[in-house]
């Protein structure tokens, strides 16, 4: 078989497509960075207590006094500016960081799972991660104080996030055991990934039944907490609670971002991927573990936030093409932009109260999901 080495033998049309997609990646990356900066500034400046541009110098000065960079005796800072600086530092900044982390890892996990299943309708919830986290979190809300009544306040506040994270990992491991041999360990060549999906659906159904049971036996206060947690939100962001999920999300990103080339080869089929040097079993294991770790950490601190992992990767893929070297990092940026942007109306529409952010993302993602289903039914090649 002859090997083509002449660059002139490469069709010019292919070079044009590659160049166009590279330009599209650069344009979208720049647009997302600008959008991220814009929503970040808006998230820090807007709210029931607005921080206008005219307030920035005084607020900055109050922050420098707080950090010990300026001697308090050398400046006269108004009480209102001190309050704004405290709101900015203790409430809005950790909320912004949490939104960036959760949105980014949900977008990244969705992109990886869509590539792994070769299905643009795949979502992190398919493998039971969100359902397992929800079951354990609900159990902690309803039973936590009765089981561990003597815990200090800081430990009591961490019960629900820790339980949710453990539930996500437990559900993933159970799905792995149920589907493991054929779908994950390569006994069937990895071709029957439907086993993993079916196992995820089964675990999700069982978890939903458990959530319903705990909701039935909970009191009014617990039911209110369950409702807001189930619909998702960033209102619980505090400096002391974001470091542990930040570490887990960083590990998940470290596992998932290098999978761009293996996922591109995986799209060709297991046989062709094997000839390209890609270990399908290792790819599946790393993708599922990374997605479970990232989504589990996200759900643990923000509750169940739907559709980010579905909508974001699909929109990115439409804009820049199917190559995962562009889809994965851009999905991180787009997920962060979407979640922080969705948090703005969630905080402002009913201020000083706030809507669960899951309602906003569902209003965005639900209609788009219907559009994807209609396109698939029509054979639109989504």
Q: Is residue 214 part of a domain?
A: yes
* pLDDT at residue 55, as a whole number: 77
Q: Is residue 341 part of a domain?
A: yes
For residue 73, how far is the Cα from the chain centroid?
45
Residue 333 domain boundaries: 33-374
Q: Is residue 358 part of a domain?
A: yes
Q: pLDDT tens for residues 27-73? A: 988 999 999 999 999 988 887 777 877 777 777 777 787 777 776 66
Mean pLDDT of 10-34: 75
Question: For the whole model, what pTM was predicted?
Answer: 0.84
Count of CB atoms situated within 10 Å of the CB of 184: 22
Quick check: 175 pLDDT over 70? yes
Q: Are 144 and 173 in contact (CB under 8 A)?
A: no
* pLDDT at residue 301, as a whole number: 85
Q: Is residue 381 part of a domain?
A: no
* pLDDT at residue 216, as a whole number: 84
Q: How confident is the model at residue 187 (pLDDT cuts 50, 70, 90)?
A: very low
Q: Is residue 4 part of a domain?
A: no
Q: Is residue 319 part of a domain?
A: yes
CA distance 345 to 208: 29
Mean pLDDT of 223-237: 78
160-169 residues labelled b (16+ CB within 10 A) or e (exposed)? bbbbbbbbbb
What three-state secondary structure class fits 275?
helix
Quick check: 121 pLDDT over 80? no
CA distance 373 to 119: 12
Cα distances from 286 to residues 147, 257, 258, 278, 279, in angstroms, run 35, 11, 10, 13, 11
Mean pLDDT of 5-20: 55
Q: pLDDT tens for residues 238-271? A: 887 888 888 889 999 999 999 988 888 887 776 7
Q: Is residue 14 part of a domain?
A: no
Cα distances from 239 to residues 5, 48, 97, 245, 293, in angstroms, run 56, 21, 10, 11, 21
Quick check: 8 pLDDT over 70? no
Number of domains in the chain: 1
CATH number at residue 180: 1.10.3470.10
Q: How confident is the model at residue 376 (pLDDT cuts 50, 70, 90)?
A: low
Quick check: 348 pLDDT over 80? yes
Average pLDDT, the chain: 79
Q: Is residue 79 part of a domain?
A: yes
């Amino acid at each position: 078989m002859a090997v083509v080495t002449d660059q002139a033998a490469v069709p010019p049309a292919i070079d044009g497509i590659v160049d166009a997609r590279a330009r599209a990646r650069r344009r979208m990356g720049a647009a997302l960075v600008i959008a991220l900066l814009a929503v970040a500034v808006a998230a820090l400046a807007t709210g029931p207590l607005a921080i206008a541009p005219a307030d920035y110098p005084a607020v900055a000065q109050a922050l420098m006094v707080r950090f010990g960079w300026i001697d308090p005796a050398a400046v006269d800072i108004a009480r209102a500016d001190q309050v704004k600086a405290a709101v900015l530092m203790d409430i809005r900044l950790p909320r912004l960081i949490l939104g960036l982390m959760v949105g980014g890892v949900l977008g990244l996990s969705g992109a990886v799972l869509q590539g792994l299943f070769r299905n643009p309708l795949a979502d992190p919830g398919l493998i039971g991660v969100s359902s397992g986290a929800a079951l354990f979190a609900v159990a902690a809300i309803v039973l936590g104080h009765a089981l561990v009544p003597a815990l200090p306040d800081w430990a009591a506040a961490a019960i629900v996030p820790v339980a949710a994270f453990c539930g996500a990992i437990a559900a993933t491991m159970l799905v792995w055991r149920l589907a493991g041999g054929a779908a994950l360990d390569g006994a069937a060549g990895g071709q029957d990934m439907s086993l993993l999906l079916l196992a995820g659906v089964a675990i999700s159904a069982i978890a939903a039944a458990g959530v319903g049971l705990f909701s039935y036996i909970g009191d009014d206060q617990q039911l209110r907490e369950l409702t807001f947690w189930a619909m998702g939100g960033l209102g619980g962001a505090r400096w002391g609670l974001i470091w542990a999920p930040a570490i887990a999300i960083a590990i998940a990103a470290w596992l998932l971002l290098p999978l761009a080339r293996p996922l591109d080869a995986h799209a060709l089929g297991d046989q062709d991927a094997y000839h390209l040097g890609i270990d399908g079993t290792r790819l599946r294991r790393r993708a599922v573990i990374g997605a479970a770790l990232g989504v589990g950490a996200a759900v643990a601190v923000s509750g169940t936030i739907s559709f980010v992992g579905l909508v974001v990767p699909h929109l990115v893929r439409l804009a820049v093409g199917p190559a995962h070297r562009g889809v994965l990092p851009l999905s991180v940026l787009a997920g962060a932009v979407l979640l922080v942007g969705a948090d703005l109306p969630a905080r402002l529409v009913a201020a000083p109260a706030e809507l669960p952010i899951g309602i906003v993302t569902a209003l965005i993602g639900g209609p788009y999901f219907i559009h994807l289903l209609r396109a698939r039914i029509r054979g639109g090649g989504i």
